Structure 1
């Protein structure tokens, strides 16, 4: 049987963003296929909604499927299947399990500081913690997301109908006809989603502060809160994404914001989200993450494809990694070294010296070839999570693996 990550490489795991204020921020991959299949409403005898079922306590939570890891101050916090949230205060040497009110798969986690954090996942779930990941409460779910999407679609339809009534220019009327047709189709889709239930997964979460945050994911979902998650608002219409392509990750790269997704989707904001523009990339395969090292941006995705830009995304060139394994997540160490992880236990590192503009690329394949979903820099090594749970990789182990 192929690994979970390999089977789902068409649409990896949830997005996250790399803040320059947190150089070890996880950038997780997206698992849309898994998200959709596991989130579908199935009526069985004795079935209980996983959104209302607390995660079971287990001593083996750190050995189960984990999809993201990040820092809460000095603490590591990881999330994954069955609603598992685990945390470590000794750089991954030992783990404890947090208290979580749901059993849905969690795809991404982010902390604004050492105490305040958020996790997102299947069924449109958004969880919040105010104690560094020890305990969590539910803020939002797919049912509320569907209601918000219907309300936004109805508002958009009313606005266009009013504009159409007032328009006198024939060309403007024709443009409004097309826009209204699209809006009515979007409204039909939103109402259909209400009938289906809480099926859409969030794939990434980012908080700029304790109040200002984003959740994004499948089918172009993008929500924003400005009150710490007390209320969430659909802002997907702000993006140039009319086909509702999956959004894998939102990354803060210096003063710019970048969203990557399926079919080579790269969207940039240079004014803190006030406006967005789509960038041209010489690639139309799915992208799962973005990181910044020094002045360079990196985006990566299917079949080991990595592209770099030194001009804020205006132009891109491909970096040959030597690996054809799908890369799902990236993290950056304090010295600027980048680690990309993905299918079949693949860990790719990129380091620059002061002489060459081409990074030194090394590839490590973990024993057992279990898929990796995310990573974080730990000391002079890395902490990775994936199919087999959490694992620390020391610098000496890495060097031995790559023959140094």
Structure 2
């Protein structure tokens, strides 16, 4: 069962699959499970093998070389070496919902999800181990919040010693905000490993970011052996949910989130600034197609940019369905989202065609296979489309295993 976590979002209706992907309304009923006899911590419970893993809720899919790897509910990770016709299930040490997956090479990949979990694989998705979780995340956030509070307290003392009224007022306001942030972090630490990561991105096999709920932003420069809270770098005092992170050009990163949040870094994440947003509702992602970018979010809003994501123009697609993910293929770029909606763009990104998949089940992510077909994952599990966007024969299978 799904339920909403919190703060209202601009333009969001109760329920709906938009809640499942990157809007923070996918959390299992943790409290109800805890009350049941025999409850087991999903962070300590391996994902169970099932012959129907390819038919369960899947929230992201990517390529690891020619291999396809998808992740989703119950800690399911599945991979295919034949363009999505048949699948194998990876061995995963947790059973929490996994929300995003990224590979820096055909072998090295990371998956993130609920309870602040970060998993790593070194063999293309067959075997996974836990690198990080919400308990460690909460502890790191508390430490960073205390350090910031102490630094601002020192700044206030210096301003008072200098009898600088303007500096004193600014320091008092900053210290008050930092104190609230530290108290929030301590509350989260007492609550447990509840906040999910919503996206993950790596520049290479060493440097990567994991982002998520309430402004969570972590960085590693050693391939995930350790993760550092760098949320203080972000101009996000409201702790808005961070839904997607993408590379634009060679060194620019863009993070998008709720309430039209767009933040940009031109030095691979060392410094960040907010940039003007074309929309006040939640944004879920950005895809980079050569010289152009597409930004997308609630109610079918799609925006294009020809200057690296500095300015945006809205595109008319004829769809009002929330768009959750996109992929740039060799000939077509497609966006997918609620109610089976698929929007296909040609290479110019000026002409689009909107399709509705049979069954109208929501799609969470898509990828182009090596044969030119598209593989989409979501509420219906795995679905395959040809280059024209037409559903292919859906005789998809799982390999025999310990089911």
What corresponds to 1:54 in structure 2?
Answer: 46
> Match for 1:319 among 307, 315, 321?
315
Distance 1:269 1:40 in 2: 41
Query: Hey, which bits of structure 1, 4+ residues long, moved more than 4 A?
Result: 8-12, 36-41
Q: Is the contact between residue 317 and residue 352 of structure 2 (CA under 8 Å) also seen in structure 1?
A: yes
Do structure 1's residue 129 and structure 2's residue 121 form an aligned pair? yes
What corresponds to 2:279 in structure 1?
Answer: 283
What corresponds to 1:304 in structure 2?
Answer: 300
Secondary structure of 1:259's aligned partner:
strand
Q: Is the contact between residue 115 and residue 132 of structure 1 (CA under 8 Å) also seen in structure 2?
A: yes
What corresponds to 2:15 in structure 1?
Answer: 7
Classify 1:231/1:325 alpha carbon distance in 2 versus 1 (closer, same or farther; 3 Å): same
The structure showing larger relative contact order (alpha-carbon pairs under 8 Å, at least 6 residues apart) is 1
Distance 1:96 1:36 in 2: 25
What corresponds to 2:58 in structure 1?
Answer: 66
Classify 1:268/1:397 alpha carbon distance in 2 versus 1 (closer, same or farther; 3 Å): closer
- Give how far 1:10 is off: 5.5
Do structure 1's residue 365 and structure 2's residue 365 form an aligned pair? no
- Give how far 1:36 is off: 7.4
Do structure 1's residue 203 and structure 2's residue 198 form an aligned pair? yes
Distance 2:226 2:32 in 1: 25
What corresponds to 2:341 in structure 1?
Answer: 346
Distance 2:171 2:364 in 1: 43
Give the 5 Å matches for 1:163-178: 163-167=155-159, 168=162, 169-178=164-173
Distance 1:375 1:221 in 2: 25
* TM-score (norm. length: structure 2): 0.89
* TM-score (norm. length: structure 1): 0.89
- Give how far 1:280 is off: 1.1
> Match for 1:44 among 14, 36, 40?
36
> Match for 1:250 among 245, 250, 265?
245
Secondary structure of 2:390's aligned partner:
helix
RMSD (Å) for aligned C-alpha atoms: 2.1
**Structure 1 residues 363-397: Cα deviation after superposition (integer angstroms, max 9, x where no partner):** 11111111100000123321100001011111356
Distance 2:78 2:328 in 1: 22
- Give how far 1:209 is off: 1.3
Q: Is the contact between residue 39 and residue 198 of structure 1 (CA under 8 Å) also seen in structure 2?
A: no
- How many residues end up aligned between the 2 structures? 378
Q: Is the contact between residue 36 and residue 200 of structure 1 (CA under 8 Å) also seen in structure 2?
A: no
Distance 1:173 1:41 in 2: 49
What corresponds to 1:233 in structure 2?
Answer: 228
Q: Is the contact between residue 344 and residue 389 of structure 2 (CA under 8 Å) also seen in structure 1?
A: no
Moved more, 295-304 or 168-177: 168-177
Q: Is the contact between residue 109 and residue 205 of structure 1 (CA under 8 Å) also seen in structure 2?
A: yes
Classify 1:333/1:39 alpha carbon distance in 2 versus 1 (closer, same or farther; 3 Å): farther
- Give how far 1:164 is off: 1.3
Q: Is the contact between residue 39 and residue 200 of structure 1 (CA under 8 Å) also seen in structure 2?
A: no
**Structure 1: which 5+ runs fail to align?**
14-29
Classify 1:315/1:40 alpha carbon distance in 2 versus 1 (closer, same or farther; 3 Å): farther
Q: Is the contact between residue 279 and residue 313 of structure 1 (CA under 8 Å) also seen in structure 2?
A: no
